[in-house]
A and B are shown apart, each in its own frame.
Chain A
Amino acid sequence: MALQPQDALAPDLSIIARIAAGDERALGELYDRYGRMAFSLAVSIVSDPADAEEVVADAFAQVWRSASMFDSDRGSVVAWMATIVRTRALDLLRAQRRRARVIERATVMTDDGESPALAPAPESTERGAEQSEAAALIRQSLASLPAPQRRVIELAYFGGLSQSEIAEQLSEPLGTVKTRMRAGMEKLRNVLRPLMEVNA
């Protein structure tokens, strides 16, 4: 399974190197590869599609300006992109003072225990079958976590909450939150290992 349909054409790192050299077409390629992921992540945090558009435009502008600073020792390209989008999205929420509402939304689970951010689309609009397959595996892996573990991870990642804030939000002891976060991430890491190796 491949996360990137264009793996055979160019690995992520070479696209980043071309962007760092000022190659605008490489930025287009990166967008074609991760634009939808970036937009979906932004929507899952800020909710409003117009805000998500701002977030993604800002994030790609940052990638364009600072591709030369990318350090593969610190993580994969997709992880770097996701970090930039997430940070921009959370910054926007803080600036708009809408964070509380989003946290509230993130705390509410659907009937089947799925959080809104990670619920499958009602009707698949995915283009690449491989990406779809990978995304499905990731969602499945998240869904396989015990609900309390998934919840603390989602509140941290999509809600931007610190462990202490999560403990307060869920009225749970801090130690419990820490243990759940560690256990959940460890499980995710194990089930997602094959994808990480492909993506490395």
Chain B
Amino acid sequence: MSAHEWLEQAPAYALGALNESDRASFDEHLNECEECRREVRALRDVAGLMALGTRPVEPPPRLRERILGDARRVRPLNARTGGAGGTGSNTIPFPVQPAMQPAPIPRAPTPITPMPTQSRAPGRAAPFGPWFAAAASLIAAAWLGVQYTRERDARQMMGRLQDRLQQQLVARDSTIASRDSMISALMSPNVETITLVATGRPPSGRMYLDRRSGRVTLAMFSLPPAPAGRTYQLWGLRAGGGNPVSMGTFNTRVDGTAVAVLPVPLGIAFAASAITEEPEGGSEQPTTTPFLVTTWKAD
């Protein structure tokens, strides 16, 4: 699917209107396409605003209390002990509900029992010692809890980062492999270069034809992307006449350019090529007027 076709799916994706398999493919594509991610973000925001435009209905006042009451019983994922301005940093107020909270959450550090009075220095009346010790223990325990949570958060973040990097590496590998293949096609000593030009006006293109290995690398310029549900198709015209032979389909990007490596059927002497616009998936035979009809004569 061309970049243009992916972009066309973005509105349906943002509205949740793609079917299961299309959505899964689009999800995969989003991992490697910044342009589509930006598009989906903007369109999701549009959908979010639609929610603000629904007929206003006042919720019952008890709903707020219910939501906050529910929250008191469950801790958020990755919540750091003592959230900013939260319900207090000296307690962890939300008991964990295993059914709703699969990740293990460390419990509040057990408060240390104050030192028994017998341990005070004899004859010393100052009551601060035990309290100070208890407070220090609590602080130490809380600090340990914070460290533990931070470490766990950091590990989870590293895990997510690693996954994302792995996905980027796979995508990068695939891009490099495809470029390697293209470079080797262009560097072959058997390559002929053919220029495609309409008389004095765009679009234009260039073909790097390797008859021996049976492939042609096509570079197009100033050709607007085919409309939705349509594609471009390259045809080979036999030297002795007869029906055109399909060499495959391609589409241009939004900027009007495309680079495609297409197969040239072996054993047929082609004398020329042409391009047509066809329904998605291509046609058996051309159904529209061909353009960039070019004799295969090397530059």
Contact digits for B72-116, partner A, Cβ 8 Å, 1 yes 0 no: 101111111111111100000010000011000000000000000
Q: Which residue of B lies closest to A66 (CB)?
A: B77
Chain B interface SS verdict (over half): loop
- Contact: B45 with A121, CB < 8 Å? no
- Contact: B41 with A61, CB < 8 Å? no
- Contact: A36 with B11, CB < 8 Å? no
Report the Cα distance A121→B56, complex, angstroms: 6
- Contact: B50 with A39, CB < 8 Å? no
Q: Of A64, A156, A186, which contacts B15 at CB under 8 A? A: A156
Chain B residues positioned under 8 Å from A157 (CB to CB): 15-16, 47, 50
Does B124 belong to the interface (CB within 8 Å)? no
- Contact: A153 with B15, CB < 8 Å? yes
Chain B residues positioned under 8 Å from A21 (CB to CB): 76, 79-80, 83-84, 86
Inter-chain CB contacts under 8 Å: number: 251
Contact digits for A14-47, partner B, Cβ 8 Å, 1 yes 0 no: 0001111111111110011001111111011000
- Contact: A40 with B86, CB < 8 Å? no
A35-B64, A39-B58 given; A185·B11 CB < 8 A: yes
Chain A residues positioned under 8 Å from B11 (CB to CB): 181-182, 184-186
- Contact: A199 with B76, CB < 8 Å? no
Report the Cα distance A25→B72, complex, angstroms: 11
Report the Cα distance A136→B244, complex, angstroms: 58
- Contact: A117 with B54, CB < 8 Å? yes
What is the total number of residues of chain B having a CB less than 8 Å from a CB of chain A?
58
- Contact: B55 with A44, CB < 8 Å? yes
- A67-90 contacts to B (CB < 8 Å): 67-69, 73-76, 78-83, 85-87
- Contact: B84 with A23, CB < 8 Å? yes
Q: How far is the CB of A16 from chain B (nearest CB, A)?
A: 10
Chain A residues positioned under 8 Å from B63 (CB to CB): 35, 39, 53, 56-57
Report the Cα distance A170→B82, complex, angstroms: 54
Report the Cα distance A75→B14, complex, angstroms: 10
- Contact: B17 with A166, CB < 8 Å? yes
- Contact: B57 with A22, CB < 8 Å? no
- A174-200 contacts to B (CB < 8 Å): 175, 178-179, 181-182, 184-186, 188-189, 192, 195-196, 199-200
Chain B residues positioned under 8 Å from A92 (CB to CB): none
Report the Cα distance A41→B55, complex, angstroms: 8
Q: A79-B48, A85-B51, A181-B15 are in contact. List 6 more A-B contacts (CB 8 A).
A: A18-B86, A23-B83, A26-B86, A126-B56, A162-B18, A185-B46
- 9 residue pairs, one from A and one from B, having the closest CB atoms: A79-B48, A138-B53, A21-B83, A22-B79, A82-B51, A39-B59, A23-B86, A156-B17, A185-B11
30 intermolecular pairs with C-beta atoms under 8 Å apart: A17-B84, A23-B86, A36-B56, A37-B52, A37-B54, A38-B59, A40-B56, A64-B76, A65-B76, A75-B40, A75-B44, A76-B45, A81-B51, A82-B50, A82-B52, A85-B51, A118-B54, A121-B56, A121-B57, A135-B53, A156-B15, A157-B15, A175-B229, A178-B228, A182-B8, A182-B11, A185-B15, A189-B42, A196-B49, A199-B45
